[in-house]
Structure 1
Amino acid sequence: MKLSILLLLVAIIGFAASTNSTWGEIGPRDIVIHHSIIRRKSSSFMRIVTEDVRFPLPDETNNRTISAILVIDQLPKSKAYAQIFEGGVNFNHTLIHFKSERGKSFNFVLEIYGRP
């Protein structure tokens, strides 16, 4: 009985938690090379909203190697998530795809760290 209650509590806490993602590791000499807020509102009841974020932008260059990518969900109980589609850690570029739950919005803080 106690085990089933404990498992139920763990499931509820996990279900209610935000969807944060971390790729890589932030070292002592790493610096933030990109910081942005990625926010999209759902325009209809059953629509899924998405957004792709590319770093660096096509007209920019990045000479640092990406050491870590942090995606922090700002909405509690959100089932939105982020995925890396291109590049990422140990590359100098990345493409991150953000996707919401059906009929919901998303609000993420994106931080990309790089090493010299």
Structure 2
Amino acid sequence: MKPTVTSVLFLLVALAGVAIAANSSWGKRNSTDILLLRENVFRTPLRNGYQSVNVDFPKSGQTNTRAISAIFIIDRFTNSSGAYGSLWSGGVGYRFASINLKSQYNRGINSTVEIYGRR
């Protein structure tokens, strides 16, 4: 079965949308959830290299008794050239999370990490 022109175009548009999107999310936020953490992460560009930043929740010396329901990473660059987020440990359903933000080559980081939890 040969792919039609429409299906090929649809696939290309879908791949292009994923390729330029630097926002990430895990879980689903409900209206009753509360904001547990909002952290703005900003790093200037590193010439001929990448920037990498870890965001840990809860912070060192703090405790958290609420289960995480959603995690959002928002790219604050207007051209989607911001960092890509990876969930390294914990996350939705856990009481902790470790998130890594990695910049694109020769780019900086300007992202906001939001973590929501159940009441």
Q: TM-score, normalised by structure 2?
A: 0.83
Q: TM-score, normalised by structure 1?
A: 0.85
Where do 1:39-50 residues align within 5 Å? 39-44=42-47, 46-50=48-52
> Which contiguous aligned blocks of 4+ residues in structure 1 show a shift greater than 3 angstroms?
2-9, 15-18
Unpaired runs of 5+ residues, structure 2, are none
Aligned position for 1:56: 58
Question: Which of these residues, 69, 85, 89, is aligned with residue 88 of structure 2?
Answer: 85
Q: Cα RMSD between the aligned structures? A: 2.3
1:20 Cα deviation from its structure 2 partner:
0.7
Count matched residues: 115
Unpaired runs of 5+ residues, structure 1, are none
Aligned position for 2:40: 37
CA contact (8 A) 2:76 2:82 kept: no
1:108 Cα deviation from its structure 2 partner:
0.7
Q: Supply the distance in 1 between the matched residues of 2:59 and 2:14 (Cα, whole angstroms).
A: 39
Q: Residues 50 and 65 from structure 1, CA distance in 2 versus in 1: closer, same or farther, beyond 3 angstroms?
A: same
